[in-house]
């Protein structure tokens, strides 16, 4: 038997309801509205107006009961609603792991993407049901709903990885994802008028 530093969590199974995408048993539920994302969209005035209007829910994160502690491997299901602020698709706040650890995402429903930024290079991975996106250690990651229905994915990450949101406020994400006339457009983070691809 391995010499566990802490008593091991009891093995158990989690049911994923493919219709509702609910986990059973279920842990904490986090809800983020437009007001939680103020200052992150390219058009802050449009975001502020939308907050005044109805402060829509942008995404929810439903976690399993596995704790975010060292050695554990927690999971969560993020559901991002469809929507845009001045053409910029709804997204998650985005974070980097203060403890350099990787993470995997499995697409469950809808159309989305994974924006990855290491401080200089920006990568956009299109995501769809049954696609696994791999986030290597050290890359900031943000999820974007690029469709017109909910985009949901399962995330699995090391419990001690943590969430650093300040890094993103300081360094940005390298790119933003917009709905263009001929489909999806990646634009410069700091100069959203200029298209990257």
In angstroms, the CA 160 to CA 7 distance is 16
With binding defined as CB under 5 A, does residue 103 bind Zn ion? yes
Structure tokens, 105: 């995402």
With binding defined as CB under 6 A, does residue 139 bind ligand M6P? no
Tell me how far the alpha carbon of residue 66 is from its chain's centroid. Answer: 19
Q: What's the CA angle centered on 102, arms 99 and 103, to 5 degrees?
A: 120
Nearer to ligand M6P, 48 or 103 (CB): 103
In angstroms, the CA 30 to CA 62 distance is 6
146 binds, among ligand M6P, Zn ion, none (CB under 5 to 8 A by kind): none
Closest CA to 29 of 67, 58, 64: 64
With binding defined as CB under 6 A, does residue 41 bind ligand M6P? no
Per CB under 5 A, which region of 68-76, 96-104, 180-188, 189-197 contacts Zn ion? 96-104
Per CB under 6 A, which region of 10-18, 40-48, 93-101, 170-178 contacts ligand M6P? 93-101
**Least gap, CB of 134 to ligand M6P (angstroms):** 13
Among 8, 129, 149, 163, binds ligand M6P (CB under 6 A): 163
Residue pair 105/80 in contact (Cβ under 8 Å)? The answer is: no
With binding defined as CB under 6 A, does residue 94 bind ligand M6P? yes
């Amino acid at each position: 038997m391995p010499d566990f530093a802490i008593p091991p969590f009891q093995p158990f199974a989690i049911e994923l309801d493919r219709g509702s995408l609910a986990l059973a048993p279920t842990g904490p539920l986090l809800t983020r509205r437009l007001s939680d994302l103020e200052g992150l969209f390219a058009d802050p005035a449009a975001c502020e107006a939308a907050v005044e209007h109805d402060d829509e829910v942008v995404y929810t994160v439903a976690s399993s009961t596995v704790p975010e502690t060292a050695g554990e491997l927690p999971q969560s299901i993020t559901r991002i609603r469809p929507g845009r602020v001045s053409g910029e698709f709804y997204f998650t706040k985005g974070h980097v792991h203060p403890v350099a650890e990787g993470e995997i995402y499995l697409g469950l429903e809808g159309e989305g993407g994974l924006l990855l930024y290491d401080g200089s290079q920006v990568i956009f991975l299109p995501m769809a049901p049954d696609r696994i996106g791999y986030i290597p250690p050290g890359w900031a990651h943000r999820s974007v709903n690029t469709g017109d229905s909910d985009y949901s994915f399962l995330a699995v990450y090391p419990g001690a990885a943590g969430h650093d949101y300040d890094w993103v406020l300081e360094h940005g994400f390298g790119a933003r994802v917009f709905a263009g006339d001929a489909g999806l457009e990646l634009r410069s983070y700091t100069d959203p008028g200029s298209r990257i691809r």
